[in-house]
Structure 1
């Protein structure tokens, strides 16, 4: 998977240790995926850091949950000129995110414990989300928060093509799919030019 620096690897290991400690209490990831948490969750999200090379400006992660993908990308890109805003309405999960951001010394990370639909537009250059909502609903959140020339990185499962077809009934958008390296049936969708029909 992604080649990361020694310091980044140390922070990722610290993140995983915190995840393992918190997960029995608030179920950040499915318990049966904990044994493979590095591969299934961390390496999965590190693909975004590789794809979105040299981003600048504001990055908004919608429905961050246990930190996927936003917190992982923020760890990998902590030396880049990017401010990460992680949006997570579940107060217990947002408390976990705040704890990790503080313990890992990530001053470029801000947590918003609110619903993405309720927050005023954030005009983000980059938006990410993983397993949050069907694409037609997700694009409404993306359109609300993205700059006109911004890019969305949406991590989707095996039905991503069906979701794209359904979303095109409501939305115009350009999509470039990248096959996931951790799940050959899944894809990372690079989406630009989002606008509603009519």
Structure 2
């Protein structure tokens, strides 16, 4: 385990992370939650990678939607870290069954939504996503569930982050900050605010 984890969470949470890892390994063969060759490096590749967005999310009471959460990254990790109002959106039924079981076993205050994000009408303070879709598409989803007072998007992206920003700016107006990932040299964290369609549509 990488000690950088303790920059984001307390020692008291580690047993819950370990329990979650046990569940991932138990379910992974039949559910395909993570790539098999990443399991040996799960603390860095998945746990720390998810937790590093905590400084960009704000209050632990913010209403958060994790789009295309898959195996619960980053949403379940954030819930273990103490965020109290997280909803996990996943359209794959097998992954939804896993998420529901993980939330139950870990006793997390987290809601699992088995649906496509396009069908969600709730508004959120923060939208998060990890390796789910292009930034342009994520912003479309974000716009649909944003508060009029403003919603923040926090997106974990790979080496195409800058290109995805350029493409998204052709359709959307938004402010953004780009931060380096601490777990992968070519990866980035994109933080989006003040999202509007071109022409303020």
TM-score range, shorter chain: over 0.9
What is the match of residue 145 of structure 2? 145
What is the match of residue 28 of structure 1? 33
What is the match of residue 166 of structure 2? 165
What is the match of residue 99 of structure 1? 101
- In structure 2, runs of 5+ residues without a counterpart are none
Alpha-carbon separation, structure 1, partners of 2:104 and 2:155: 26
Q: TM-score, normalised by structure 1?
A: 0.93
Which 4+ runs in 1 deviate beyond 4 A?
A: none
CA contact (8 A) 2:56 2:191 kept: no
CA contact (8 A) 1:56 1:125 kept: no
Number of equivalences: 193
Alpha-carbon separation, structure 2, partners of 1:116 and 1:44: 23
What is the match of residue 127 of structure 2? 127
Aligned-CA RMSD value = 1.2
Q: Out of 1, 5, 12, which is 1:2 matched to?
A: 5
CA contact (8 A) 1:160 1:187 kept: yes
- In the TM superposition, residue 69 of structure 1 has moved relative to its aligned partner by 0.8
Larger strand percent: 1
Alpha-carbon separation, structure 2, partners of 1:32 and 1:100: 22
SS at match of 1:184: coil
What is the match of residue 13 of structure 1? 18
What is the match of residue 61 of structure 2? 56
Alpha-carbon separation, structure 2, partners of 1:26 and 1:57: 30
- Superposed, 1:80-99 pairs within 5 Å as 82-99=84-101
Alpha-carbon separation, structure 1, partners of 2:192 and 2:77: 20
Alpha-carbon separation, structure 2, partners of 1:33 and 1:113: 26
